[in-house]
Amino acid sequence: MSSAERVRVRGLNIFRPIIYGNTAVVLNQKEREALTTPDHTHRWTVAVRSAASAPDSEIVGGADDLSYFIKRVTFKLHDTYANPTRNIDKPPFEVSETGWGEFEVQIRITFIPESGEKAYTLYHHLKLHPWTVVGSGEPEQPPLETAAKMGPVHSWQYDEIVFHDPFQSFLNTLVAHPPTALPKTKRRPIPFHTANPASLEASKGGVPEFCLDMEREEAERLEAARKAIIAEQDKWRATLIEKEKELEKMNKSLSESA
Amino acid sequence: MVGPSASDVRSVLQLPNPSTPTPGPSQLRRTQTVERPRKPEGLPREVYSLIGPTAVPTLVAQFAKPRLKQKPNLGGSGRRVRWEWKSFGNGARSDGLKLSHWTKAGADPEAEYPFAKYNTQSNVLTYSQDEYTRLLEDPGWTKEETDYLFQLVQEFDGRFYIVHDRYEYPNGTPRSLEDIKDRYFSVCRKLVRNRPWAGDDAGKSQLLASLTFDKERESTRKKYLASLEQRTPNQIAEEEALYVELKRLEQTERKFKKDRDELLRTLLGIESGLPDIVADEDGLNGGSASYAETRRNRRKGGEVETPVSATPSASTITLNQPAPKRQQSAKSAAYDALHCIQRIDLPPNATTSTKSSHVPVYLRSYKLPAPKTAAAPRIAQVLGELGISHTRLVMPTKENCAQLESLIEAAAALVETKKLVDKVDQDIRVAKIRLASRTSDGDEGETPGAMDADDDGEGAEEDEEGRAQSVVSGRSGRGRKQARRSMSISSVDTSTTGGPKRKKRRGE
């Protein structure tokens, strides 16, 4: 690599949209009997993928091969698993396992050496049980039969890996692999997210897909909330000013009568 | 007939009639229809119209009738409009005063008063004590005076001349109009700048721009105008004379230069190096040089122009500082969008950042702003009520992260305000208790008196006993009564209930 390429491009951020998370399905009786660990109730896959989904794919995201900038993804599973640290050096960056309980998966993304970046660690709560609306009265954890009928559980988080002032060579590599853009509008169910409980209905009925509408919708929610807060703030400020005036009047009459 | 008609004048002067040689087709036709019975048979109409004054007796008809504009039909087909004296209510008034005015008969009596909408309310900003201490402190102004100023501005709808005229702050320093305006606008600017803004940035900076006030400039301007007004006639005359002199000198100078150029041109020709010599010898150095010059100029001009034209208007530059650099061609913007590139404006001195200052790779959602720890639970609660998680976003894109950040800021400000309201509430409660205790202090002197009135002096002794405990002890009943009287006078407005009754009793 020439020294000219080891120059950082200043004032430039380049990011790559990724998703990380898991999909889980309930095992049926036959499958469970086939396992060496019959107490396992679910089969799950935890993965790091590109955000956009390939057309008609059976998985969430993964339209692009991320190995052009990710060298290795390490999934650190619960200690009860045999060799809990799983290094995945080539795509797809995912681990499939069976299990019975939810736990926190540590995901460590190592970038290619050209990036000059250290590995980045993130966490994902492995989700096995179907999403329920908190406070809806439904049991947090429906029985397995019901859960099985509800289909696979998806728990995915969109995020953007931001490279700040990348090296020219790394930038060239990234630019050579533009990410597939997310579809503008909703074509399939959208992935459920706890930050948007209202999306539960929209998340049902098939393999979900991330789309730009989700971003717009969230922006609108945030904007509406901000407007509400500012309106509230104005109201409270008016109250405050009024009360201050009242207090002032009282203090005045206090000092006068003293 | 008062004087000779136009046709008489024309015939005397032997002038052709102006309307006949080039009459408009419509006019001609009209005169003909009028004149037809008089026109002899077999005579061509052109000839007929040229014959003489007899052909144009309808001068009035020709000039006046068709040339006048049609009278506008006011008030519809000549029908007379009836007006009625009716009372009306002005929606902009709060006192519901009924005035009367003339209206067209049949107008809807319930219709809204059309001028009510012109009674616009100016919304003068207000500020809390906290905001004042945080942002608005000014050594030249006290909060009371600022309050007074804002009250005046509100009262007089921001008409600063009136505000200045009525400005009479007790024991205050005299304020000029500029002082007043400067204080008012600077306070408004600070408030707008520091409060969370509901709209977009452009609206905010527009509002800020409307609130700018340059005190220095304004006073210089006024001083200049005043000095201009205060010139004596002599000074004005002198100024004018000087101006004429200057013009004359300039003219002489120009003439002299022209003569000199003329002379040089005749004596030296092209070698004089004068720029405006038209070199007849084409392709010689003069011509080509000037051509190259223009070429260079044009290219330079082009270079200068392109960045200007790339940015749509000067206003956006001032509104949005990073705009000029970020505003690239549509193509490169599309390129950046495709490759998810975001460009940041670098501060010029930051180019030599070392390895240690490098921002390592990060996930955008991990850089979400965390609210201040002290207020965090309450902020979370506020956001939770609105169905927003303050730690997680579905799509943590750059825009949404920024949105969440401003949302958290707004929520923090709200929590802060609420806290202040609670504090002031508490202060009010304390003040109320103090006031109440003070009035009851007064009452303790009064109520027994009132009771005395009711009991008709029966329980006077017991009251004396009771009072001995409540009021400062060690005084005689007589002395206490004296004290009571003086107290009732001093606290006459705080103890309204006891006062009159007591007096009544005294009168008995």
Q: Does A111 touch chain B (CB under 8 A)?
A: yes
Q: Say if the Cβ atoms of A233 and B413 lie within 8 Å.
A: yes
Q: Say if the Cβ atoms of A232 and B345 lie within 8 Å.
A: no
* Average pLDDT of the residues of chain A: 84
Number of structural domains in chain A: 2
Q: Say if the Cβ atoms of B361 and A232 lie within 8 Å.
A: no
- Within this chain, do residues A164 and A106 fall inside the same structural domain, yes or no? yes
DSSP 8-state assignment for residue B116: G
- Taking a C-beta distance cutoff of 8 angstroms, is the pair B362, A162 a contact? yes
What dihedral angle (degrees, nearest 10) is formed by the CA atoms of B440, B444, B449, B451?
80
First to last CA, chain A: 85
- Within this chain, do residues A156 and A258 fall inside the same structural domain, yes or no? no
> Is A7 among the domain residues?
no
> Is A8 among the domain residues?
no
- Within this chain, do residues A58 and A178 fall inside the same structural domain, yes or no? yes
pLDDT band at B170 (very low <50, low <70, confident <90, very high): confident
- Within this chain, do residues A189 and A232 fall inside the same structural domain, yes or no? no
- Within this chain, do residues A36 and A152 fall inside the same structural domain, yes or no? yes
Q: What is the pLDDT of residue B198?
A: 73
- For the segment B445-457, the average pLDDT, to the nearest whole number, is 42
Per-residue pLDDT reduced to its tens digit, B376-396: 888 888 888 888 887 788 888
Q: Residue B183's CB: how many other CB atoms inside 10 A? A: 21
Last residue of a domain, one of A210, A225, A244: A210
Q: Does A210 touch chain B (CB under 8 A)?
A: yes
- Within this chain, do residues A100 and A228 fall inside the same structural domain, yes or no? no
- Within this chain, do residues A107 and A229 fall inside the same structural domain, yes or no? no
Residue among B394, B396, B417 minimizing CB distance to A196: B394
Q: Say if the Cβ atoms of B386 and A15 lie within 8 Å.
A: no
Measure CA A110 to chain center: 18
Q: What is the DSSP string of A42-73?
A: EEEEEEEEESSBPTT-SSSSB-S-GGGTEEEE
**Nearest-CA residue of chain A relative to B426?**
A247
Best residue in B340, B389, B486 for a mutation probing chain A (most A CBs within 10 Å): B340
Residue among B339, B393, B410 minimizing CB distance to A229: B410
- Within this chain, do residues A185 and A219 fall inside the same structural domain, yes or no? no
Q: How many residues does chain B have?
A: 508
> Is A256 among the domain residues?
yes
Residue of A30, A47, A56, A58 lying closest to A155 (CA atoms): A47
Q: What is the pLDDT of residue B81?
A: 78
**Tokens describing residue B266:** 């005749």
Q: Does A247 touch chain B (CB under 8 A)?
A: yes
Q: What is the pLDDT of residue A47?
A: 92
Q: Say if the Cβ atoms of B359 and A165 lie within 8 Å.
A: yes
Q: Does A118 touch chain B (CB under 8 A)?
A: yes
- Scan for tokens 């901000």, then name that residue: A226
Residue among A218, A230, A236 minimizing CB distance to B394: A218
Burial class (CB in 10 A: 0-12, 13-18, 19+), B318: exposed
pLDDT band at B494 (very low <50, low <70, confident <90, very high): very low
- Taking a C-beta distance cutoff of 8 angstroms, is the pair B223, B163 a contact? no
Q: Say if the Cβ atoms of A243 and B421 lie within 8 Å.
A: yes
DSSP 8-state assignment for residue B52: -
Q: Does A175 touch chain B (CB under 8 A)?
A: yes
- Between CA A233 and CA B41 the distance in angstroms is 96
Partners of B342 on chain A (C-beta within 8 Å) are 12-15
Partners of B411 on chain A (C-beta within 8 Å) are 229
Least confident of B91-100, B236-245, B344-353: B344-353
Phi, psi of B63 (to 5 degrees): -80, -55
Q: Does A258 touch chain B (CB under 8 A)?
A: yes
> Is A105 among the domain residues?
yes
Residue of B174, B186, B175, B173 lying closest to B214 (CA atoms): B186
- Within this chain, do residues A90 and A138 fall inside the same structural domain, yes or no? yes
- Within this chain, do residues A174 and A80 fall inside the same structural domain, yes or no? yes
> Is A2 among the domain residues?
no
B161: left (phi over 0), alpha (psi -120 to 50) or beta: alpha
- Taking a C-beta distance cutoff of 8 angstroms, is the pair B366, B403 a contact? no
Per-residue pLDDT reduced to its tens digit, A98-152: 888 889 999 999 999 888 888 999 999 998 888 876 655 555 677 777 777 778 8
Q: What is the pLDDT of residue B52?
A: 58
Residue among A222, A232, A250 minimizing CB distance to B407: A222
B384/chain A closest Cα distance in angstroms: 10
* Pairing of β A12-26 and β A42-50: antiparallel
What Cα–Cα distance (Å) separates residue A23 from each residue in A43, A63, A191, A211? 8, 17, 11, 18
Classified as helix, coil or strand, B482 is helix
- Within this chain, do residues A98 and A113 fall inside the same structural domain, yes or no? yes
Report field, pTM of the whole predicted structure over 0.80:
no
Partners of B395 on chain A (C-beta within 8 Å) are 158, 210, 214-215, 218
- Within this chain, do residues A226 and A147 fall inside the same structural domain, yes or no? no
Q: Residue A216's CB: how many other CB atoms inside 10 A? A: 15
> Is A4 among the domain residues?
no
A126/chain B closest Cα distance in angstroms: 16
- Taking a C-beta distance cutoff of 8 angstroms, is the pair A70, A93 a contact? yes
**Tokens describing residue A239:** 């109250």
ipTM value, please give it.
Answer: 0.84
> Is A1 among the domain residues?
no
- Taking a C-beta distance cutoff of 8 angstroms, is the pair A132, A91 a contact? no
Classified as helix, coil or strand, A99 is strand
- Between CA B364 and CA B396 the distance in angstroms is 6
Best residue in A60, A111, A155, A237 for a mutation probing chain B (most B CBs within 10 Å): A237
Q: What is the pLDDT of residue B77?
A: 61
First to last CA, chain B: 103
Q: Say if the Cβ atoms of A230 and B344 lie within 8 Å.
A: no
Q: Which domain holds residue A223?
A: 212-258
Q: What is the DSSP string of B244-255?
A: HHHHHHHHHHHH
Q: What is the pLDDT of residue B500?
A: 40
> Is A74 among the domain residues?
yes
**Tokens describing residue A24:** 């889980």
Per-residue pLDDT reduced to its tens digit, B182-203: 999 999 988 888 887 777 778 8
A123/chain B closest Cα distance in angstroms: 11
Partners of B341 on chain A (C-beta within 8 Å) are 12-14, 175
- For the segment B239-264, the average pLDDT, to the nearest whole number, is 93
Residue among B128, B392, B434 minimizing CB distance to A240: B128
- Between CA A65 and CA B6 the distance in angstroms is 100
Tell me which residues of chain A, numbers 124 to 143, contact chain B at a CB-CB cutoff of 8 Å.
none
Q: Does A228 touch chain B (CB under 8 A)?
A: yes
Instruction: Give the CATH number, domain containing residue A160.
Output: 2.60.40.1970
A29/chain B closest Cα distance in angstroms: 35
